[in-house]
Amino acid sequence: MERMDAGKARGVLHPERSEGEFHHDRRLPSPDLGDLVAHFWSVSWDLRGQEPRIQETLPHPAVHIVFEVGNTRVGGVSRSRFTRRLEGQGRVFGIKFKPAGFHPFLGEPLSSLTDMLLTLSEVFGGSGQDLEDSVLAADEDATRIEIAEAFLRSCHPGPDPRVPFLNGIAARIAEDREITRLDHLSGPFGVSSRTLQRLFARYVGVSPKWVIQRYRLHEALARVDEGNLVDWAALALDLGYFDQAHFIKDFKALVGRTPTDYAALIRPS
């Protein structure tokens, strides 16, 4: 089966350039799993004889299952940026779930998994270890995806209308940069702010306010990555901040640098 490319990754921070090989591939799931899985991804590298490479990404409201020899885990939504030092030679294969897509498999509020790492056996029992062994033994990503999809179908408890509903809200937040406050969601989706907060805690693992703030900071990062000069005060207002200082504080807390320092890093004079 031909797998469609999932497109460009969002929220990748200034990957360090180095010699050697580095590949990042993202593939969409089969249609019947489209309400649960955002995409499958793989990263492979061969930096033997080269300097290590630091890979950093901003957090998304998503659970990942990551398959790596000696380091396979289920990762809940992380509220801080992910940093990984790549050296030598290696490969990682992963499943990125949609914001509410992992809830059916966990069977309890996703907030219990936020900022947590668990083994597959802790989540899926003995079948989790079988899944890990099968995926890591496969030679190609296409086979790994087939194995993962068969497993997800076998343990999926059935449809829950709140899963696509909440995924739709999260997608709207990601796509519509005019959404900067929780009350921007209540009217269009016909649900109160309190109900949204409760549903997001249970199904996504973080608050809708957190999702809004993170995606607006993703937008700020994209503006910088475009390579144009940025009016930081105007951008802060566009993203829903009352003042530039608050925006800079949040940007630095997440990215690790002020907007000006980050811009200088990716566009050295």
For 192-210, write each residue's pLDDT tens digit: 999 999 999 999 999 999 9
The pLDDT of residue 18 is 47
Distance of CA 126 to the CA centre of its chain: 27
For 100-141, write each residue's pLDDT tens digit: 999 999 989 999 999 999 999 999 999 999 999 999 999 999
Alpha carbons 75 and 56: distance in angstroms, whole number = 16
**What is the pTM (predicted TM-score) of this model?**
0.90
| Position 6 pLDDT exceeds 70 | no
Structure tokens at 131: 């899944």
Structure tokens at 259: 């907007």
Which domains, and CATH codes, for the chain?
Answer: 12-155 (no CATH), 162-266 (1.10.10.60)
Would you call 131 helix, strand, or coil by DSSP?
Answer: helix
| Position 215 pLDDT exceeds 60 | yes
Cβ 147 vs Cβ 134: under 8 Å: yes
pLDDT bucket at 181, cuts 50 / 70 / 90? confident
| Position 268 pLDDT exceeds 60 | no
Mean pLDDT of the chain: 89
For 47-93, write each residue's pLDDT tens digit: 888 888 888 888 899 999 999 999 999 999 999 888 888 888 899 99
- Residue of 221, 134, 216, 157 lying closest to 181 (CA atoms): 216
The pLDDT of residue 222 is 82
Mean pLDDT of 217-241: 83
Alpha-helical runs (H) found in the chain? 103-106, 120-124, 126-137, 141-155, 162-175, 183-189, 193-203, 208-225, 232-238, 244-255, 259-266
How crowded is residue 40: how many other Cβ atoms within 10 Å of its Cβ? 24
Percentages helix, strand, coil for the chain (3-state, rounded to 5) are 45, 20, 40
User: Where is pLDDT greater, at 223 or 133?
Assistant: 133
| Position 16 pLDDT exceeds 80 | no
* Region of poorest pLDDT, from 129-133, 168-172, 189-193: 189-193
